């Protein structure tokens, strides 16, 4: 089994309302030193294969087809040891 991590971030310039709201909430809680917060999503995928290269290629396709929205998202794929 191979475990692959996918991190799905918002592209530069795309609004991040979740991050903005977390920033506001933290300031209201008294954390005045918070300049900004960026939110992202992470998936760990367990794949039934031993071929790391094929696993990465599959996950790349999963990102294109389901996990990420190419209009607003960037993603990074990495193997987990």
Shortest separation between residue 71's beta carbon and its own copies, angstroms: 19
Map residues 15-34 to x or -, x wherever contact with its own copies holds by CB under 8 A: ----x--x--xx--x-x-xx
**SS3 at position 27:** helix
Q: Nearer to its own copies by C-beta: 66 or 71?
A: 66
Tell me which residue of 7, 8, 23, 5 sits closest to 72, measured CA to CA.
8
Element (H, E) at 4: strand 2-10
Residue 50 engages its own copies in binding (rule: CB under 8 A): no
Q: How many residues bind its own copies (CB under 8 A)?
A: 31
Q: Does 72 bind its own copies (CB under 8 A)?
A: no
Answer yes or no: are the C-beta atoms of 72 and 19 closer than 8 Å.
no
Give dist(CA 81, CA 67) in Å, integer. 22
What residue ranges bind its own copies (CB under 8 A)?
A: 1, 7, 19, 22, 25-26, 29, 31, 33-49, 58, 61-62, 65-67
């Amino acid at each position: 089994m191979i475990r692959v991590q996918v991190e799905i971030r918002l592209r530069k310039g795309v609004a991040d309302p979740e991050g903005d709201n977390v920033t506001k909430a933290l300031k209201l809680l008294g954390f005045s030193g918070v300049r900004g917060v960026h939110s992202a999503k992470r998936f760990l995928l367990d794949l039934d294969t031993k071929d790391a290269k094929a696993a990465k290629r599959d996950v790349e396709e999963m990102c294109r087809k389901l996990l990420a929205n190419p209009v607003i998202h960037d993603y990074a794929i990495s193997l987990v040891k």
